[in-house]
Amino acid sequence: MIQFEDFRLDVEDAQLLRGGKRVALTPKAFDVLARLATNAGRLISKEELLNSLWDDALVSDASLVVCIREIRKRLGDNARSPQFIETVHRRGYRFIADVNEAGGAEVKQDQAPRAETSARASGERQPGDSTSRHATTRTRVSSIVGRQEEFAELDRVFRVAASGQRQTVFVAGEPGAGKTAFITDFIVQHTDESVRIAEGQCFEQFGEGEPYLPVLEALTQLTQQSDGDRIIEAITRFAPTWLTQMPSLRGRLPADVAESDALGSSATRMLREMAETLETLTIETPLILIFEDLHWSDYSTLDLISYMARRRQPAKLLIIGTYRPVEIILRNHALKPVKRELLSKQACCEIPLASISVEAVSEYLTKRFPEIETSNEIAARIHRRTDGHPLFVAELISYLAAHDKLIPTTTDVADAPLPENIRAMIDTQIDLVDDEQRKILEAGSIAGVEFSAAAIADVLGQQVLDIEDQLDSLAERQQLLQPVDDGHSVEAPSARYRFRHVLYQEALYKRCAAGRRIRLHRRLGERLEQRHVEPPPELAAQLAIHFERGHVLDRAIHFLRMAADRATRHYANREAAEYVSRAIDLIRRDPSLADLRLSLFEQRGLIYRSSANIAAAAKDFEAMAQEARRRGKVAEQANAQFCLASVFSWVDRQKCLDAAVRANQLAERLDSGLHQKHLRGWWAYWNLLWEGWTEGDAAASSAAISAARKLNDREMLCLHLSRSGCFHLVLSDYDTACRATEEAMQLATEIGDASEYLLATFFRGWACLYDGRWEEMARLLWDGLQIAETNGHDRYALLLRLQMAQLCNEAGDFDHAAELAERSLKESRELDLGYGQLVSPILLGVAYLGQDRAGEALELLEQIVQRLDNERLLMDWIWKMPLRYATARCHFKLGNLDAVRDYAAKLRLAASFPRGQTHEALSHQLLADASLRQGDSKAARAEITRALNIVQTTRLPLAEWRILQTAATAFADSDPERSQECELQSQNAFSGLVQGLNATFPSLRPPGNRSIER
């Protein structure tokens, strides 16, 4: 007698008791429970259970899963959070409850109890017995045939991965080639406890649009294994941005973990975090990740596979992806270039699964029917009929066995009216199912390759248990589908099933009459939506499919937009744009939904802008403006024009200004209100960039932020907070600029807008530079640069690289600064980016000056001075200040003191409006240096005292250390003590700025006397 919780398992009497009452179990389910309980704590493979408990009966994994499901129902267990029986995916089961002996004989660990029943003894057919006379003597085939070379190659790859050298392998084969069976047999061979295995499946209906769908499925599987808490701990520590994408973990995490740690997430950060997580998990234990049907994969999953394959860090990791070659060609799928690139870099290998040989067919017959003498001629005829197509071979042999045609002669094989191809074979199998079951299967095909009994019961108006009985019967007979031992899904607390092959689902879907298909899709969508007060975002893509195919287009559009929002939060902009494009296409089918076009063009335009697709974004914003004009919506017209200004600012100054002017004119036609303040604030920003600072524009920016907060509009607030950073910067209010842009970055993260995130990063980096937060700036720039490059935003990447060059210059790493500036100048010319063509030469000139190349530096800088005399560039009035300071320092180096004084005067004039205190203080330093060079210590002390007064009343770290250094020289004769104090303060100020940067910029120089040459 075995006791666990309040159950007692009597092995000898073959009964399960609870509170003294018998718990009903079928004989086979009891056998399975007894086997597991007497081996508590040990993983028992499916092979072991099937071979030891079913003997020579016709069996499959389906029979075992049905038994496990029955046991769980009787025990009140849940596969997702088990108390008794744990599923180890694709490998087997483990009894995890504490087990005690309760009298009776001792149960040995290796005992395999059996419950022989009167039904078996009397010869009654059991569930799982076939109607064929061959079934009673058929044994389960534990491996596939004709794949010895392929198995050897995959095993070799695994051994390399297990040694610490990561491997990626693509298994290629057409439908029915046996990809899943091949992978399953490989897994069975590696059921050792020291290997973790997880799988993710791509689906045709939702796969290409739903970012990271198979990855999240695999991760969820890992968290449900015996060491799931360790997996969750690793994800929490190394991949916090992924936690928000895994709602099933919320109950197993501290309440604030997912929200606090995911701020500032990005596509690159998600890739990096997951790479570090998987590498950590594989330090001791090898991990096999399987992604099936990658020809239906989303872009983000392919990005992760590619990223993982290209990394060089040690990892005991094997990634296996299956796909259909024809599909990636016909769909022009992104897998094709990804695989080609990885192959070219020897970062992956490919195992094609071709047709099997006659010898393999013969071997299969022998393994499947060892009691029958099958001639080579039978195998040859089957091979000729099937062309060695593995699925067709298996199904044709099943067909022959079911019709008593598999005999040692060849006439029946030759003369029987056999299906001509695999699809005809599938149609024949469907015809064998009764009408009621066929209707259930058709409803299942509408739900997808995998579905729940509850969903089918809902749409057919039947009881769940009745549907489960019918589906279990089909599964046990291996007819078309199999049960899924995967707990309860998000949409239905009931048993789940999966078609044995996607071809079965496709065939049933096509056989379903068009009108019935529409009704079933509609009902499925409605029932799925009704189960939730507010459907979770992870169901949006599925709901969109059902409503689109159910001809409920307004709901389809609603959920497509929700799916797009979810994709942007994953930083999956390509998938998001495709969702919105589908929604726009649906409007063409129903003109009554035309009012939605305006918001859809805006949504897709913002997605394109985030992904740096300037041309596509401009096209959508222009369409948005035209739609708003046609409908007489002035505010929307103005908004569209400002969106156009934002994208044109990268490529066309005049178009940018024209769009901004039109937007401002439209805003003036609105009644005063919060939305007008929003538009006025946007205009103020463009006016600041192109024309300069005004009090009115600064006030408008502040009012727009207040309006956004009153409206509780996160997108609007994000927009104005990031742009307000520029207003605070020109006022030398660096701390406020940092706080405003930090809040904007958080908002951009929440709404999934990479473009706004990068703009806020740009202004925050600028503020950190001037506020002396250089280590923070370095981290910010590295992260932002990776985000920009991942999103394909070359222009933002260039801007952030320029800021990195500026930081290097300020920190004394002139060689690195020169490299970055030279690269940026080249890219600016290629992109025809005026801002980059302005800033790159200025920073390159400063770097040349630091490298003692003052003549070359001056030549570069004077070219920019001359260019600005003839044309306007974005933010040119702001950059004239560092340009004049750098030019003055070149002249100082070359001894042109009159030119130094001339540029110092111009710098002071530019800095006086609005309040450019950093450069105002530096203008006095330039005059002090010039006076010192001329030997006029009194004049030098007067100028440096003015500079000191500025830096001592306002925090200006960028200027302070330089001014203190000049002050040390100016007071050297008249006040040696003060001179020493200034020198020490300069050293300490500079050391404080560069602290923490050495790891990033190893070539930093000490401050020395860089600012003055004597």
Torsion sign (Cα): 293, 297, 301, 306:
positive
Is the pTM of the predicted complex or chain greater than 0.75?
no
Average pLDDT, integer, range 563-583:
89
**Residue 55: predicted pLDDT:** 59
Burial of 417 (0-12, 13-18, 19+ CB in 10 A): exposed
* CATH 1.10.10.10 is right for the domain spanning 2-117: yes
Q: What is the pLDDT of residues 952-1008, one digit of tens each?
A: 999 999 999 999 999 999 999 999 999 999 999 999 999 999 987 766 665 555 444
Winning range, highest mean pLDDT, from 52-61, 663-672, 873-882: 873-882
**Residue 116: predicted pLDDT:** 34
* DSSP label of 43: -
Q: What is the pLDDT of residues 196-250, one digit of tens each?
A: 999 999 987 654 568 898 999 999 889 888 788 899 989 988 888 888 778 777 6
Residue 135 has pLDDT above 50, yes or no: no
Check if the beta carbon of residue 590 is closer than 8 Å to that of residue 578.
Answer: no
Burial of 660 (0-12, 13-18, 19+ CB in 10 A): buried
Residue 855 has pLDDT above 90, yes or no: yes
Average pLDDT, integer, range 10-37:
89
Cα separation, 246 vs 219, whole angstroms: 9
Residue 540 has pLDDT above 50, yes or no: yes
The per-residue pLDDT of the chain, averaged, comes to: 85
Amino acid of residue 375 = S
Burial of 12 (0-12, 13-18, 19+ CB in 10 A): exposed
In which band, very low, low, confident or very high, does the pLDDT at 547 lie, cut at 50, 70 and 90?
A: very high
Check if the beta carbon of residue 330 is closer than 8 Å to that of residue 181.
Answer: no
H helix intervals, 282-357: 299-310, 325-330, 335-344
Q: What is the pLDDT of residues 927-951, one digit of tens each?
A: 999 999 999 999 999 999 999 999 9
Q: What is the CATH number of domain 429-512?
A: 1.10.10.10
In which band, very low, low, confident or very high, does the pLDDT at 639 lie, cut at 50, 70 and 90?
A: very high
Pairing of strands 100-101, 21-23: unpaired
**Residue 580: predicted pLDDT:** 97
Check if the beta carbon of residue 97 is closer than 8 Å to that of residue 84.
Answer: yes
| Beta-bridge partners for 44 | 93
In which band, very low, low, confident or very high, does the pLDDT at 696 lie, cut at 50, 70 and 90?
A: very high
Architecture of the domain made up of 148-352: 3-Layer(aba) Sandwich (3.40)
Compute CA 495 distance to the chain's CA centroid, rounded to the nearest angstrom. 30
**Which run of H or of E encompasses 165?**
none
Q: Which residue has the higher pLDDT, 841 or 189?
A: 841
State the CB neighbour count (10 A cutoff) for residue 492.
21
Percentage of residues of the chain with pLDDT beyond 90: 54
- Candidates 3.90.1580.10, 3.30.465.10, 3.30.1050.10, 1.25.40.10; correct CATH number of 772-994? 1.25.40.10
Q: Which residue has the higher pLDDT, 366 or 631?
A: 631
Strand, coil or helix: 199: strand
Q: Nearest Cα to 718, choosing from 692, 753, 683? A: 753
Peptide bond into 914 cis (omega under 30): yes
Residue 590 has pLDDT above 50, yes or no: yes
Compute CA 684 distance to the chain's CA centroid, rounded to the nearest angstrom. 36
Cα separation, 696 vs 932, whole angstroms: 42
Residue 521 has pLDDT above 70, yes or no: yes
Average pLDDT, integer, range 353-362:
91
State the CB neighbour count (10 A cutoff) for residue 273.
20
Q: What is the pLDDT of residues 724-736, one digit of tens each?
A: 999 999 999 999 9
Average pLDDT, integer, range 268-273:
84
Torsion sign (Cα): 68, 72, 78, 84:
negative
Within 8 A by CB and 6+ apart from 125, the residues are: none
Q: Which residue has the higher pLDDT, 612 or 374?
A: 612
In which band, very low, low, confident or very high, does the pLDDT at 858 lie, cut at 50, 70 and 90?
A: very high
End-to-end alpha carbon distance in the chain: 97
Residue 118 has pLDDT above 50, yes or no: no
75-93 CB burial, b ≥16 within 10 A, e <16: bebebeebebbbbbbbbbb
Q: What is the pLDDT of residues 388-409, one digit of tens each?
A: 888 888 888 877 777 666 554 5
User: Measuring CA to CA, how many Å separate 722 from each of 60, 79, 745, 765?
Assistant: 60, 47, 8, 12
The maximal CA–CA distance of the chain, rounded, in angstroms, is: 120
- Give me the DSSP letters along 620-656: HHHHHHHHHHHTT-HHHHHHHHHHHHHHHTTT-HHHH
